[in-house]
């Protein structure tokens, strides 16, 4: 049984898997990390392996806590064994979250051209070929980041919550911001999908991340929406390590 930990800047997402079946999921603030992990291990005593993925460095206290656990703990890095060929020019700088997403794509869609779009703080695009070769992708600001940037870096623009305007022609400052951000993101994503389709036949597109629900039904391209794709990818990494050590 596997314990999966995805640690972000503020929140930690955890899941318990029995092979490919997710038995438990929870999201909580980093301040209660140790308490939550201890409780999960008490409730799921058959957990024998754990993998952590973090966009930031875990504190020394947290690292020491992990080292003292009764289970085998792995930390996902660019050196972790993965079931794809990585041709990224700077593999050391490739985010571990992106590595996990590609592993999920390889595991769930083998021998297919797959574009994974993770719509969170940033929008990342990651592409693997039907030969299981990772080529790279793109990074752009996410929806919330675009709204916040307009507010922080200008004198008069307000901070708004994401909203889809009724018309792409904004007839007020607020509507113009919503048009520029929300419709802009959708147009960007659809445009990038179209670019990949021009070059790669039979493209499978996966949409994941915190803004999945906001975007999924508004894209013109056919996509598979899966907000837990990253956690599934981390579990796939751990299973791959289990059988390839």
Catalytic positions are 97
Q: By three-state DSSP, how is residue 122 classified?
A: strand
97 is in an annotated binding site: yes
209 is in an annotated binding site: no
**DSSP label at 229?**
H
**Helix 143-152 crosses helix 184-199 at what angle (to 10 degrees)?**
130
176 is in an annotated binding site: no
61 is in an annotated binding site: no
95 is in an annotated binding site: yes
Q: Where are the beta strands (DSSP E) in 91-190?
A: 113-119, 122-128, 133-141
12 is in an annotated binding site: yes
118 is in an annotated binding site: yes
121 is in an annotated binding site: yes
130 is in an annotated binding site: no
Residues 6 or more apart in contact with residue 154 via CB below 8 angstroms: none
98 is in an annotated binding site: yes
**DSSP label at 221?**
S
48 is in an annotated binding site: no
Cα 201 from Cα 1, distance rounded (Å): 37
190 is in an annotated binding site: no
Helices (H), strands (E): how many in the chain? 8, 11
9 is in an annotated binding site: yes
105 φ, ψ (degrees, to nearest 5): -65, -40
Would you give the distance in Å from CA 156 to the centre of its chain? 33
184 is in an annotated binding site: no
Helix (H) or strand (E) holding 66: helix 60-67
Q: How far is CA 86 from CA 50, 91, 131, 133, 164, in A?
A: 24, 8, 11, 6, 37
Cα 91 from Cα 102, distance rounded (Å): 13
Annotated binding site for substrate: 88, 95-98, 173
Annotated binding site for ATP: 6-13, 121
Annotated binding site for K(+): 118
Annotated binding site: 6-13, 88, 95-98, 118, 121, 173
């Amino acid at each position: 049984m596997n314990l999966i930990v995805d640690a972000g800047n503020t929140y930690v997402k955890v899941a318990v898997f029995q092979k490919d079946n997710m038995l438990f999921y929870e999201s909580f603030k980093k301040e209660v990390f140790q308490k939550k992990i201890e409780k999960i291990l008490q409730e799921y005593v058959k957990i024998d392996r754990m993998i952590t993925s973090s966009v930031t460095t875990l504190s020394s206290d947290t690292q020491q806590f992990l080292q003292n656990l009764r289970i085998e703990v792995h930390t996902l890095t660019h050196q972790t064994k993965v079931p794809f060929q990585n041709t990224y020019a700077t593999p050391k700088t490739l985010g571990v979250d992106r590595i996990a997403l590609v592993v999920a794509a390889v595991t769930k869609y083998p021998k297919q051209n797959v574009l994974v779009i993770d719509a969170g703080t940033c929008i990342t695009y990651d592409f693997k070929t039907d030969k299981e070769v990772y080529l790279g992708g793109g990074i752009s600001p996410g929806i919330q980041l675009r709204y916040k940037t307009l507010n922080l870096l200008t004198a008069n623009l307000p901070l708004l919550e994401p909203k889809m305007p009724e018309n792409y022609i904004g007839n007020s400052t607020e509507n113009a911001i919503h048009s520029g951000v929300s419709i802009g993101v959708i147009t960007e994503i659809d445009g990038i999908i179209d670019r990949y389709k021009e070059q790669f036949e039979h493209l499978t597109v996966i949409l994941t991340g915190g803004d999945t629900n906001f975007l999924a039904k508004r894209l013109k391209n056919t996509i598979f929406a899966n907000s837990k794709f990253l956690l599934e990818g981390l579990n796939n990494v751990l299973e791959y390590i289990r059988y390839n050590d």
